[in-house]
Chain A
Amino acid sequence: MPAVSKGDGMRGLAVFISDIRNCKSKEAEIKRINKELANIRSKFKGDKALDGYSKKKYVCKLLFIFLLGHDIDFGHMEAVNLLSSNRYTEKQIGYLFISVLVNSNSELIRLINNAIKNDLASRNPTFMGLALHCIANVGSREMAEAFAGEIPKILVAGDTMDSVKQSAALCLLRLYRASPDLVPMGDWTSRVVHLLNDQHLGVVTAATSLITTLAQKNPEEFKTSVSLAVSRLSRIVTSASTDLQDYTYYFVPAPWLSVKLLRLLQCYPPPDPAVRGRLTECLETILNKAQEPPKSKKVQHSNAKNAVLFEAISLIIHHDSEPNLLVRACNQLGQFLQHRETNLRYLALESMCTLASSEFSHEAVKTHIDTVINALKTERDVSVRQRAVDLLYAMCDRSNAQQIVAEMLSYLETADYSIREEIVLKVAILAEKYAVDYTWYVDTILNLIRIAGDYVSEEVWYRVIQIVINRDDVQGYAAKTVFEALQAPACHENLVKVGGYILGEFGNLIAGDPRSSPLIQFDLLHSKFHLCSVPTRALLLSTYIKFVNLFPEVKTTIQDVLRSDSQLKNADVELQQRAVEYLRLSSVASTDILATVLEEMPPFPERESSILAKLKKKKGPSTVTDLEEAKRERSVDVNGAPEPAPASASAASTPSPSADLLGLGAAPPAPTGPPPSAGGLLVDVFSDSASAVAPLAPGSEDNFARFVCKNNGVLFENQLLQIGLKSEFRQNLGRMFIFYGNKTSTQFLNFTPTLICADDLQANLNLQTKPVDPTVDGGAQVQQVVNIECVSDFTEAPVLNIQFRYGGTFQNVSVKLPITLNKFFQPTEMASQDFFQRWKQLSNPQQEVQSIFKAKHPMDTEITKAKLLLGRSSDLGQHSLKKLILTLQTLWALASSTPKPPRLDACCVWSRICKLRCTGSRCAQARTLFPRGYVTYCRSSFNPMQAVGLCVLFPCVSATLGDHTAHSTMEHLSTCTSSLGPGRGWDTKGLLTGTTAGLPVQGGPGSMKSRQPVVQSTN
């Protein structure tokens, strides 16, 4: 028989527990439990009323079964009955059951709350304590609603017992954390602050936790707590170890309270001079005590003492104002770095990380570099080594970068798999940030790839290429180094990528050496080709065509390779297309054209390293300890502005790796001023609308763009709500079905979607809809129909604002509804004579629009030319449609890759080129904008009608900067253009009168012909 401790009479329970313990198998245990459950069920259902003792025993058994991991679906009512028992132990078990197995059954909650209310009013401190514990354990919103008003009163009442005050303080804290809106600040707050002066240290301990949490959100209300906390702390740290009696823990006076007080002080900046002096004394005392010999050998003594010390150091770092204290803290941590306790070494490394970011202690931290490197090599615990890596990263600056990077690299060879990727990112960042000599940088990154190629993410190798391209002084070295590295019999695919790219650009710089002649370079790369994945092979094909330009002597070899069946008939479309196009390009283009088309990449625009963004994403902002970084993070938080999108966001999904390098998917820079609307360009359709109720939901802009050429799909999605669209348009009318899906299991209340049209939009676009049911059940979907009529042309899109209540919180979402002008476009049949006749008729002065404006940014022909490579503009397709699509692709690439606002420029360029093509004149002008080969090639067979049609579509393309959307636009475009017979034009059913870009319109009152905007380059 097991020993039953005194006072516990539930022998039946003990027997049951020991039965369970003696069960030999899981099955036997389940059998025993089911037997017991059946027994309890029958007792609860039986006719004989159970006495309190039995009820308690059975409820306790149920609880035990639940804690073993089995589901319990009855017994709640019996437990609630126990709450109203007058016997302490019965009440206690009842509360325990409720705390562990809360059920959202509303009837039950009412009963529970009633029982709690009675106990709180009982004035019996033990019962009050139980009731408060229960509220603190459950902490539900219902309980907050019922008791948040009552508990502060209990807390500050003069006659409340100390133990009840303690429970009340922490109970209130729990409710505040769960539902801050239900715990309003009031008169009680100032009295709570004075609990810091309470004689009972237990009360002070509990109250300090409460005050700390409240002060974080309401610093003004609680600022008097600072001086009280300092004087309390001062009394504690100067007390003799016996003064505080039972609050002294292994000779350390009130360690828990000290830690909490120091924590509270971290909610505030350094206090006024008077208080500050006292605080500094306290902190010095704590630092001094760390040097004293220990009063006990027990680990508890040192832990408690050091807990206070670390908290004091946190406060010193937080204030970051006393150089003297900072340096002392650093020295203290330095001692801990070599302590025999692993725990202390771990904490010292962690704490030093934050010290490294203070300007006062950065140098002091650096003196410990050897110890930290040693820790990296010798610590047996991976979590400690991880801290060492973090600290090395934090203490790195120009003076020690080479050493630290070298150590991290050598550690990488044996590092745990779990932290490799992070180390790779850190090394890459440090190498770039502190590179004086870029050959060192190139070596480091190539080493990274060699040692941990699998952990080198795309951002890392993109970055090395960007840097090599931007710095001429390192290009030759880079080419030589990758060439050597590639000679290793087995090299990582990432190295092949970097090698392929760099040799394609700069292979000529080492071709003079017979050991790395063009043919050897090519053979070396091609020997890796078949082992690589599709994206890498695609990249290598681009390298080959670049070789054709760089080294005419290997042209035939490369053509043979391109011509082979494994390329031309490759199952992968991307590879096949590249092979076909490159082969054609190499055979039809003159050397001149090749030289232009395949010219060296232009420098990349400087921007924040995408690697840094990735590290931040991976580790959270707190670990990027660079001081400036931290500050910038903070300011970003304050403004609520999202970080600039890292280039990596787009990289993952795009199929063409060479294009990714430019970060085409990166968001275009925001327009600096109001859009130049004077021209009335179609592009204005896509400029941001001015009116919105809630700020537009992040990401909705992307979705909006996706809908320009699409009618169905998901417009918006977050954790709660999904909005789907289905729409159809005919002539000037349209109908849109909006589907609101509740993704949660809880009802949305007061669900009200509203359509908002800006004033000028209202006149041009008629939207009619019926209100939807204000409640949306969990998991349900409701539909709303919007009837749309386009009265006149418009530029902005209506905004859909949705407001509802979810679980008591108010939700407000705004998204732009994708109703754009192009939805109402209509093709129209027209013989070519008719067309030109109409075109010529549009010659009245009112029917012409011309706007001349200065380009905001210089149009660098060199850059433009090079950028054109991106779209692989060597349009070699068989018919003109393909050519046009390629043209558009090219323009799209141009539009999205030019660093400065490209939309308007690209559009103008486009319309201009159309005009040139239409008339077949002014070729020379076009040459200033586009590479020769390109223009001459396109000109040969050109259908003006198609160009005009594309003209209209182009703004759509320029607005859809995402790769995916561009793709779908292309598809859309191809269907549009292929349906155009000769002599067909485009019309918008009298909706569009004055248009841009030479769009021919059917005559109507006030029809206007517009002229192409003329770009005046500032160049």
Chain B
Amino acid sequence: MEGQAAKRRRVYSIEPKKVVEEAVFTRNYMNYLVPALMKIKAGKRSSHCCEIQNVVKHEVDMAMVFSAQGFAWSNALKANLQRYQNEHSSSSGGPIITSNNPSNSSSKSIKYVNKDIKGEEYEDGFINNNNNNNNNNSKLRCLRRLIPGGEDMCNEQMVEELESYISCLKMQVNVLQYLADKNC
């Protein structure tokens, strides 16, 4: 995903705010993930543990995408995963290091740091005074890296997306915790 140094396009959503319900999300998530995990278990018996990890992580993220559709971040995550999938399938060789995992936010964030700076300062040039400005800017930049697809969002959209993203993350953690505990 190419970052945009210039002013990001401001997207103002006029639709009512979409809320992901917990029950629906959880059900969808489990519906996706459990069969996927079973498939992994059945299929790759002799795989390297790292590869399994990657695949599991991939499925976890796909489940997230599947369960929370309609948000900008979920679309971005989906794009990331598909890109990862392409890369993965092309290089069918050895284990793929987890750092290449697109859902690992820190790895992809590094590329965009420089571009972020320029874009950020243009947008937030008027926030408070300079000290606060820089402080807030860096924090917003941090947030932008954390949320998938954040580089393409303007501040306002990002804050909107954050709401759904955080709640979905929480639900995802709940489900995963349950699954992991059940099988430990």
Q: Do A and B bind each other?
A: no
Binding site for A on B (CB under 8 A): none
